[in-house]
Amino acid sequence: MKVQEVMTREVTTVAPEASLREVAETLVRHGISGLPVVDESGGVVGVVSEGDIVGKEAGPEPERSLLARLLHGSPPSKLEARNAAEAMTSPAVTIAPSREVAEAARLMTEQRFNRLPVVDDDGRLAGIVTRADLVRAFLRTDAEIERELREDVVERTLWIDPSNLRITVENGEVALRGRVESKADADLLEHFAARVPGVVSVHSTLRWKIEDPGVPESDPRVPAPPRSR
């Protein structure tokens, strides 16, 4: 499943010059915790969140000693921020609409983000994906999961002949049975099945015709690490 299938396309944004009061009013009005900061061309230049507002309200941290400042440096504080551009986190971590939902989930987990702006090839905002979107993507029927496994994973991604496979899904639990060409195919199929949104577990009893050490690093079907923009 791709990010474009679960993202929200109508996104609330603010301009870099928006005052922090305007940012706070927008967050409260729409009941959201953060939003992209977008320039005149539609490019995402950062993300501003309620944490940036709360941090300013908390006031300055206790003054560090001269030795601590010399050892660790003294980064610019957001306490003096007066608009979105000065308070936002930049550059924004973004994702392309064609990336897998699993990659968005991994990025959000690793970076501890609640949302990711979705941008096109020119860096313009195309939508936003949130943790709530990912939770909704998990609530799929067994039939939808099975269809994605057969059509998207087996046939389009891994180029495996489905005639010797038996795939069943019950309450999100996937069972893979049958025969594939090699152990690499069996390993990849199990790996990709576990990444399909809605899959709770994968149990494989696949057999293979050719014994090999597993998936080579050069296999073109091995997914590349997600890239952030």
Q: Give the model's pLDDT for residue 2.
A: 87
Give the burial class of 94: count Cβ atoms within 10 A of its Cβ; 0-12 exposed, 13-18 middle, 19 or more buried: buried
For the stretch 83-116, pLDDT in tens is 899 889 888 899 999 998 888 888 888 888 888 9
**Type of residue at 56:** K
Q: Give the model's pLDDT for residue 166.
A: 95
- Residue partners of 124: CB distance under 8 A and separation at least 6: 41, 42, 43, 44
Domains and CATH numbers, the chain: 3-138 (3.10.580.10), 142-210 (3.30.1340.30)
Q: Give the model's pLDDT for residue 89.
A: 87
**Region for residue 57 given its phi and psi (left: phi exceeds 0; alpha: psi -120 to 50; beta: otherwise):** alpha
pTM: 0.63
CA distance 100 to 116: 13
Biggest CA-to-CA distance, the chain: 71
For the stretch 4-56, pLDDT in tens is 989 999 999 999 999 988 999 999 999 988 899 999 999 999 999 888 777 55
Q: Give the model's pLDDT for residue 218.
A: 57
Judge contact between 146 and 181, C-beta under 8 A: no
For the stretch 61-72, pLDDT in tens is 555 554 444 444
Q: Which two tokens stand for residue 221?
A: 């079907």
CA dihedral 46, 48, 51, 57 (to 10 degrees): 120
Q: Give the model's pLDDT for residue 58.
A: 46
Query: Which backbone phi and psi does 43 adopt, to 5 degrees?
Result: -80, 140
Query: What are the E-state strand segments in the chain?
Result: 34-38, 44-49, 115-119, 125-130, 165-170, 173-182, 201-204, 207-210
